[in-house]
Structure 1
Amino acid sequence: MNPKEIIESGESEITEFKTSLAEWRDVVETVSAFSNRSGGRVFIGVADNCDIIGVDIGKNTIEKLANQIKQNTDPVTYPSIRVEEIGGKQGKQVIVVDVEESKPKPVLAFGRAVIRVGKSNQKLGYEGIRNLALQTSRVYWDERICEGVGLADIDKEKVRRYLERREEIRKVSKPEKMNIETLLLNIGAAKSINGETKPTNAGILFFGKNPQRFVLQSQLRTARFAGRTLTRDFLDRLDCSGVLWEMVEQAEDFVRKNIRLFGFRTEYSFQRIDKLEYPIKAVREAIINALIHRNYSEPADTRVAIFDDRIEIISPGSFPKGVTPEKPKHVPVNPVLCQLMYDIGLIEKYGSGIYMINELCDEWGIPRPEYELSEVETAVSFRSGGKAIVIGEIEKTGVELNERQKKALQYVLEKGFITNRSYQELNDVGKKTAYLELSGLIEKGLLLSTGKGRSVRYVARF
């Protein structure tokens, strides 16, 4: 895209607008933030709403800006700075600062470390700075030796189950004679240090007898709250423990137990049709993503919180650089854990998880999940479709409903009941039409009338 097209696209994780050179300190900070992420571009002379204001370019303008960036970044950063005429010769002049990703990280601005998250720059704390430095050295957390752990802490039965599952799913034959040390070394679950084999963090999280003893933050906390806000009132809770795939199973069972099951019958279906409030497969995929893509250097747990209107899955750390919920890519934060989960069929390797989650939510009739990203954590929220998801299932059974009847069913689902007068007002029809169409919903087994005379109410039978 040319500069004008980029500006029209608005600010993003790689694009920032500044109205004038008076904001040079913000420019320096953004250069630091882009350097610590995947690079980006600063346009000076453009408003937040994408209006091109332009800047006056003097003899030493570019040199002065370059010096301001050089003098206030550490390590010193030398971005490309140029002037663009937006709109041809009669257009306005805009300064464009092109920033590349820095190899040594973090890059400080005015002695502080910042990083680009979404459309904003966020200050990095001690852990964030430490994590950036680790990224530079290319040592992944799951590849490191797990401190205080030996081969005696590995559960051979879990290794056996892994091999059986890998053979079943990926058609990789089990070794005839299993040597635990050799196997763990081959799959990245252990490393040899001075002739001694030590389990890695991935090894203990996947095959450990008691992973939480050594990696306390690997615990998965789940809770069902009363209402729609985070309170101290739990209706149910479970602290999942064990290896990763065991915690996935525990969390899935907990979610099933704590979400609603909608059921109904129609005149065309003698069997009861049941449908869970959320697509379990999508929620399960999000939980798996939270466990394998999280930042284990952070001391916080992964959490699953169930409310009346949503499920939230929160994990420490943000998306990898260059990856967004809108454009997911396979960039593993913990590559060994990803490979092991792939081996047993819990994930695929193509960055398809988010696409699959979206498709499942579309099919289920609930909104696609919302993502809230920060430097500290990632939150994924599934919004409940309520009983409204049932209407789509009703139509699949062959029941024919006109648009007025669909609106009436939605009204009942939201309000709890409907009256003849309410039906008239909702659909702008007369009393007789309302009566006939409400009676039709009763005949189809969808509504039930209660009361007599003017007190008649129609309630859902599902």
Structure 2
Amino acid sequence: MSEQHNIEYKQSWHDDYLKGICGFANAQGGTIFIGRDDNGSVVHLQESKSLMESIPQKVRNQLGILVEVNLHQENGSHYIEIITLPYSVAVSLRGRYYYRSGSTTTELTGHSLTEFLLRRAGKTWDDVTEPAATLEDIDTASVDKFLGDALKAGRLPDVSGLSVGDLLEKLRLSEKGQLKRAAVILFGKDPGRFYPNMVVKMGRFGKDDADLKFQEVVEGNLISLMTEVTANLNHKFFTKSVDFEGLQRVERDEYPVAAIREMLLNALVHRNYMGSSVQIRMYDDSFSIWNEGSLPEGLSLDALKRQHPSRPRNPVIADVCFKGGYIDSWGRGTIKILEACKEAGLPEPDMQELDGGFLIILYKNRLAEEQLAKAGLNDRQLKAVAYVKEHGSINNSIYQTINSVGKTTATEELQQLVDMAIFSHTGMGRGSKYEWAGIGR
């Protein structure tokens, strides 16, 4: 058996391997074999009997846990198997905490350590009370905005007649009269007074990062940021003003509104609020949003492109945003972004974990046109693609008219676009039409 995420081979024992045992205990558990090389072959292990006594003792004394230690023999040589089960409590080694992620054992520090310890205590960062905050720190205008949005979404139980304090209690944003961090993030008058970097930075760049044309910085609570950031994007960054309420609207030669809105919401709801500010960058040919905070454990970049469970970093904040109609609770945010770009004829967005955070990049429409040209489309078919992007669909008669060709040629060339998964064909007879399906697959 080869080395895996929960299996390690070591030719001899070293006390430094206690870090690996600590990492396994804090993660999903695992096994370390002492007396096997990197290929899993058994090698001669000196003092195997004494190690059988010393290893469990060191683990117990320095980690405070129990492990299963077994002595095995193969081809006349002995090796030791150390089985570590996952622990529900945090395990430390000489005051330091280690965690096994993939095939790597890393020391947890800073925000990662804080989140880990909170999880082990059955808490998340946003579910902790903020002793310095009172109801005087809550912006009632933001609360009213949320209630109006929640009424439209129909996801909030009847709260008529409730005071702000009672409403926050009902939304699980307070505990025994004490506000939680989530309440300050969502509705605080000045959340930056409590937590740094309650900010969204926006920059318009030219050819590269060194070519900064202008920038804007927006501060405030989450509810106000959603409005202020989109207003700034419309006013100074987009060449065409877009309606962020009408999610089905797609601007010609602009980025799809649904994708931008979903990207912004994901960044605000799922960010690490003790880390760096959210950063929005617009270039001549791309638009990106980065937020502090890596993907949740067990969730990969590939999983974001398909149906996957929702594992919010800030579940209290996410629940309120769900009730307000801003997000759903099915982990479909990234799928919506992919679908919106496909419908708009844009290349697939680039999603990556970068610098301790999550980055998603949208690319301009003209890149899609280049891909279509490379796909071997003729001028008539490219003209039809442009027509569909502007008008939503095309039929055989229109194809004939705009290209001055007969019905047979139009039928053949439209079918080619369907076969290449660029168009989809629906209906029959007079109801027959061709719609955008995406870049050829």
State the alpha-carbon separation in 1 of the partners of residues 251 and 319 from structure 2. Answer: 38
Alignment of 1:324 with 2:300, yes or no, is yes
The change in CA–CA distance for 1:182 and 1:390 in structure 2 (over 3 A counts) is same
State the alpha-carbon separation in 1 of the partners of residues 232 and 154 from structure 2. Answer: 29
Q: Counterpart of 2:252 in structure 1: which amino acid?
A: D
Structure 2 residue aligned with 1:356: 336
TM-score scaled by structure 2? 0.67
Structure 2 residue aligned with 1:345: 325
- Aligned partner of 1:243 among 218, 221, 233: 221
The one-character-per-residue Cα deviations of 1:394-439 (angstroms, maximum 9, x if unpaired) are 99xxxx9349998xxxxxxxxxxxxxxxxxxxxxxxxxxxxxxxxx
Structure 2 residue aligned with 1:64: 51
Q: Is the contact made by 1:143 and 1:200 (CA closer than 8 Å) also made in structure 2? A: yes
Q: Is the contact made by 1:275 and 1:390 (CA closer than 8 Å) also made in structure 2? A: no
Structure 1 residue aligned with 2:121: 137
- Structure 1 segment 9-88 matched on structure 2, within 5 A: 11=4, 14-15=5-6, 17-18=8-9, 20-22=10-12, 24=14, 27-40=17-30, 45=36, 47=38, 52-56=39-43, 61=48, 64=51, 67-68=54-55, 71=58, 74-80=62-68
Structure 2 residue aligned with 1:370: 351
Q: Is the contact made by 1:365 and 1:392 (CA closer than 8 Å) also made in structure 2? A: no
Structure 2 residue aligned with 1:301: 277
Residue identity over aligned pairs, in percent, reads: 21
The SS at the match of 1:216 is: coil
State the alpha-carbon separation in 2 of the partners of residues 160 and 273 from structure 1. Answer: 31
The change in CA–CA distance for 1:118 and 1:373 in structure 2 (over 3 A counts) is farther
Q: Is the contact made by 2:205 and 2:213 (CA closer than 8 Å) also made in structure 1? A: yes
Residue 188 (structure 1) shift: 1.5
Structure 1 residue aligned with 2:261: 284
Q: Counterpart of 1:211 in structure 2: which amino acid?
A: P
State the alpha-carbon separation in 1 of the partners of residues 71 and 366 from structure 2. Answer: 57
The SS at the match of 1:250 is: helix
- Aligned partner of 1:101 among 72, 86, 91: 86
The answer for unaligned runs of 5 or more in structure 2 is 241-249, 383-441
Q: Is the contact made by 1:37 and 1:321 (CA closer than 8 Å) also made in structure 2? A: no
State the alpha-carbon separation in 2 of the partners of residues 54 and 338 from structure 1. Answer: 49
Q: Counterpart of 1:317 in structure 2: which amino acid?
A: G
Residue 182 (structure 1) shift: 1.4
Alignment of 1:151 with 2:135, yes or no, is yes
**Corresponding residue pairs, total:** 364
When the two chains are superposed, the root-mean-square deviation of aligned CA atoms in Å is 4.1
Q: Is the contact made by 2:201 and 2:279 (CA closer than 8 Å) also made in structure 1? A: yes
The change in CA–CA distance for 1:76 and 1:106 in structure 2 (over 3 A counts) is closer
The change in CA–CA distance for 1:77 and 1:251 in structure 2 (over 3 A counts) is farther
Q: Is the contact made by 1:69 and 1:78 (CA closer than 8 Å) also made in structure 2? A: yes
The SS at the match of 2:105 is: strand
Structure 2 residue aligned with 1:225: 205
Residue 127 (structure 1) shift: 4.3
- Structure 1 segment 211-222 matched on structure 2, within 5 A: 211-222=191-202
State the alpha-carbon separation in 2 of the partners of residues 106 and 199 from structure 1. Answer: 30
Structure 1 residue aligned with 2:178: 198
Q: Is the contact made by 1:46 and 1:94 (CA closer than 8 Å) also made in structure 2? A: no
The SS at the match of 1:274 is: coil
The one-character-per-residue Cα deviations of 1:272-326 (angstroms, maximum 9, x if unpaired) are 98232x4443343233223222333x35323233445654433333333333333
Structure 1 residue aligned with 2:367: 388
Residue 175 (structure 1) shift: 3.3
Structure 1 residue aligned with 2:164: 180
The change in CA–CA distance for 1:176 and 1:72 in structure 2 (over 3 A counts) is closer
The SS at the match of 2:253 is: strand
Residue 244 (structure 1) shift: 0.9
- Structure 1 segment 405-444 matched on structure 2, within 5 A: none
The SS at the match of 2:321 is: helix
The one-character-per-residue Cα deviations of 1:33-81 (angstroms, maximum 9, x if unpaired) are 333334445567474xxxx341236596487278447626843343445
Q: Is the contact made by 1:282 and 1:360 (CA closer than 8 Å) also made in structure 2? A: yes
The change in CA–CA distance for 1:178 and 1:53 in structure 2 (over 3 A counts) is closer
The change in CA–CA distance for 1:325 and 1:215 in structure 2 (over 3 A counts) is same
Q: Is the contact made by 2:52 and 2:71 (CA closer than 8 Å) also made in structure 1? A: no
The SS at the match of 1:348 is: coil
Q: Is the contact made by 1:167 and 1:173 (CA closer than 8 Å) also made in structure 2? A: no
State the alpha-carbon separation in 1 of the partners of residues 78 and 348 from structure 2. Answer: 43
Structure 1 residue aligned with 2:439: none
